[in-house]
Each structure stands twice: as structure tokens, then as C-alpha cells.
Amino acid sequence: MKEHDRWLLARRQLQRKLVGRRSTSPLTALIDLVLVHPIAIVGMIAKQLSITPRAAQNLVAELGLRGATRGGRSRV
């Protein structure tokens, strides 16, 4: 149950970023994708959401996700 509560809290915190956004924003799909795949590559995000890699980077930055590598190039 603790793990379940932790995931729900994470989802709620990410969904706060959706306030004032269009309902068709890819940010909603990105939140779902990040919860399913906690370690994601920008290229994979772009492919899954059918957006450009640059748009994927912008969405990742908007959510404030941290890079998994020191270089922080394309891994979330």
C-alpha cells in the first residue's frame, strides 16, 4: 500500500502542472508515460507521443524531470 500511495502522490504532483493547459496537450500523455516508464529517453517520448524530439525536451523541462545520467543529454 505504501508503494501505491507513493505513485498516487507522484501522479497528483505531476498533474498540478496541467492546470490551465489544453485538454489535448501532450503533457497529459507524458505524465502517463513517465509513470509507466520511469526511465525514458527523449527519442522514445517523442515517438510515443508523436511529437518532435525538441518538443519532447520542452515537455520534460516543463515537468521538471531530472536526468538519469550526469550528462543529462537525452535521458529522463
Closest CA to 31 of 59, 68, 55, 1: 59
pLDDT in the model for residue 52: 94
Q: Does residue 75 register a pLDDT over 70?
A: no
pLDDT mean across residues, the chain: 83
Q: Does residue 26 register a pLDDT over 80?
A: yes
User: 27-57: per-residue pLDDT in tens?
Assistant: 889 988 988 888 888 889 999 999 999 999 9
Portion of the chain with pLDDT greater than 70, in percent: 87
Separation of alpha carbons 36 and 32, rounded Å: 6
Separation of alpha carbons 61 and 48, rounded Å: 17
pLDDT in the model for residue 70: 54
